[in-house]
Amino acid sequence: MNRGFVLAMALLLAGCMVGPDYRRPPAPVAVSYKELAGWQPATPEDGFDRGAWWSIYHDPILDLLERQIDISNYTLQQAEANYRNAQAIVQEATAALFPVFAGVGSGQRTGIGATSNGIVSSGNGVAVSGARGFTGNQYTLQGTGSWDLDVWGEIRRQIESDVALAQYSAAEIANARLSAQAALATAYFNLRASDSLTTLLSNTVKQYADALRVV
């Protein structure tokens, strides 16, 4: 059989993949909206970092507390660990597309020395008179290689799945971070409101006490 034909068929089969390509389901969009002109459909990015959104309040204490979220929040740390694991899985799956080579090497240096009377013992037990001692080097190298062709696209489909899981893990990080930041900001402002209410009530009590003394 013609080698060129075999090679062409192998390349053709390598380009085949099992199953259809994933396509995002279309979302129904209205023909027109009542909003002003210039509005565009949103393109959500769940893994996008929202940034220091709390800085609009210009509160240095809140800013200091919010920046501790990444350090002290265990839920966020777990989400980041899951994302790193997902990235490693993608790299592992991608590596399966390429050939694998393994090699083992070793070296050995041997020597035979002559005695004072010039007699050297050979390897077969025979003594040779008048010979000099000698040394020698011996090297051994062994290697193996393998390459599993992704003929039906199984590996590539697995990579697509792993990439999607990595994107999901990235979205989990962003959502966990945003949830922790929002919960902290809510608790902080509730505390500030309670402090203000406590101050107000304390001042009210003081004013009543002052009025009672006047009476």
Q: pLDDT band for position 54 (50/70/90)? A: very high
Residue type, 121: S
Residue extents of the structural domains in the chain: 51-100+154-215, 102-144
Q: Which residue has the tokens 């290689």?
A: 145
Q: Is the dihedral of CA 54, 56, 59, 60 positive or negative?
A: positive
Residue type, 22: Y
- Residue 135, classed as helix, strand or coil, is strand
State the Cα torsion 176-179-180-186 to the nearest 10°. 180
Q: What is the pLDDT of residues 130-139, one digit of tens each?
A: 555 567 788 8
Contact present, 159 and 93 (Cβ < 8 Å): yes
Distance, CA of 88 to CA of 81 (rounded, Å): 11
Q: Which residue has the tokens 């990015």?
A: 45
What pLDDT, on the 0 to 100 scale, is given for residue 99?
83
Produce one character per residue of 188-215: b if its CB has 16 or more CB atoms within 10 Å, e if not.
beeeeeeeeeeeeeeeeeeeeeeeeeee
State yes or no: pLDDT of 187 exceeds 60: yes
Q: What is the mean pLDDT of residues 7-27?
A: 62
Q: Of 67-81, 115-129, 190-204, which one has max mean pLDDT?
A: 190-204
